[in-house]
Amino acid sequence: MEVQVVDAFTDRAFAGNPAGVVLLTAPADEAWMQAVAAEMKHAETAFVELRDDDEPLGLRWFTPVREVDLCGHATLAAAHVLGGDRRFRTRSGVLTCAARDGWVEMDFPADPAEPAEVTAELRAGLPGVTVEAVGRAVSDVLVQVASAAQVRALEPDLAALAAVPGRGVIVTAPGDRPGLDVVSRCFYPSYGVQEDPVTGSAHCTLASWWAPRLGKPELFAEQCSPRGGQVRATLVGDRVRLAGRAVTVLRGRLIV
């Protein structure tokens, strides 16, 4: 089986979020896919079940420790590997991807966050920031802080964040330079991912949160992890269009 490693949400190698992409010619055992994802050690590895007809391709995502319901950067990586316009059948429904001028645009369900209280785990997990608002989405807890500088300088207590219910924690603020609308960082220690370099699915919550607050549906966002990456996010009703670029850095074959 062919396997590739793709840096997603970036236009240069060794930046953005690396994802494994495994191309399957037949259904694979779930335990085997989890073992491969653990071996790859990327935040997510995508498994694409190829087909000979026009039906959506099967797509599943695994972190090193568990399967997830939605992953933006590994979907982008899979679409980049396959090229052109693609449809995928996933645990979050059918997702469509379209190639546009060197970018891949993905149509994802929005995941809006409802106002929530600041918990003791969040306070312990996010030292040195001024919390302005908290929202709870289906997947993640969003924490809006006072400035982009606080987001960039944050040194979280990951053990405390692991105790926050849900998939993980998004820390965000308005952008701090012209043309940059939003900054964020994302932490998923309970899913085996300490800090995710660039999280496409988190922008389904970020777009829903910031579009009405900033008064604009189209956002240019930076996830300011050490690797860094950029996402275009457009809120359209109950959907979010996510766009990013990608670079293939490795091609090989699985022999087991």
- Quick check: is 222 catalytic? no
Q: What is the pLDDT of residues 71-117, one digit of tens each?
A: 999 999 999 999 989 999 999 999 999 998 999 999 999 999 999 99
Q: Enumerate the β-bridge partners of residue 170.
A: 142, 186
The two three-digit tokens of residue 87, written as one number: 């449809």
Residue stretches of the chain with pLDDT short of 70: none
pLDDT at residue number 208: 98
Q: Is 124 exposed, middle or buried (CB count within 10 Å of its CB: 0-12, 13-18, 19+)?
A: middle
**How far is residue 12 from each of residues 22, 81, 247, 249, measured CA to CA in Å?**
21, 16, 6, 10
- Long-range contacts, stretch 89-96, CB < 8 angstroms, 24+ apart: 89/55, 89/56, 89/57, 89/58, 89/59, 90/59, 90/60, 90/61, 91/60, 91/67, 94/56, 95/59
DSSP state of 169: E
pLDDT at residue number 122: 97
pLDDT at residue number 106: 96
The two three-digit tokens of residue 243, written as one number: 């766009």
Q: Enumerate the β-bridge partners of residue 246.
A: 8
H or E segment to which residue 33 belongs = helix 30-40
Q: Are strands 44-49 and 57-62 parallel, antiparallel or unpaired?
A: antiparallel
Question: Rounded to two decimals, what is the model's pTM?
Answer: 0.91
For the chain, what is the radius of gyration of the CA atoms?
17
- Taking each helix axis from N to C end, the angle separating 72-82 and 202-214, rounded to the nearest 10 degrees, works out to 110
The two three-digit tokens of residue 14, written as one number: 């060794």
pLDDT at residue number 139: 93
pLDDT at residue number 150: 98
pLDDT at residue number 242: 97
Q: Enumerate the β-bridge partners of residue 24.
A: 49
44, 49, 105, 195: the catalytic one is: 44
